[in-house]
Amino acid sequence: MPANQKYLSSSGQRFLKISAGILGGFLVMTFFHNAIGSLLEEKTGLIITTTYTSFIMWALLMVIAFLFKNGWKVWGIYLLLTAVFGAIIFLNK
């Protein structure tokens, strides 16, 4: 049985959601973990913790990108989060 057309997004919105989930989620995840690393004094357990949490966080950000109706909003939120985490990294150097 085919999907109902009113629940499907256009191809442009689909591309925005996929790219935001993959690339935007990766940027948010990377900047988040770097910001956490810049805030901590003791960095010995950071690398092993980051390897586990980064994959989980990236997968969650990919799923969250598809919950929005508009792909531009997802990109806006992900770029805003990336800028906030980038500012934290910059201010802690």
Q: What is the pLDDT of residue 47?
A: 84
Q: What is the pLDDT of residue 28?
A: 97
Contacts of 92 (CB under 8 A, 6+ apart): 35, 38, 39
Q: What is the pLDDT of residue 32?
A: 96
Q: What is the pLDDT of residue 6?
A: 72
Q: Which two tokens stand for residue 86?
A: 């980038």
Q: What is the pLDDT of residue 44?
A: 81
Q: Cα(66)–Cα(17) distance, rounded to whole angstroms? A: 6
Task: Read off the pTM.
Answer: 0.87
Q: Cα(38)–Cα(7) distance, rounded to whole angstroms? A: 42
State the 10-residue block means of pLDDT for the chain, 93 residues long: 72 92 96 92 84 94 94 96 97 88
Map tokens 């959601």 to a residue. Answer: 17
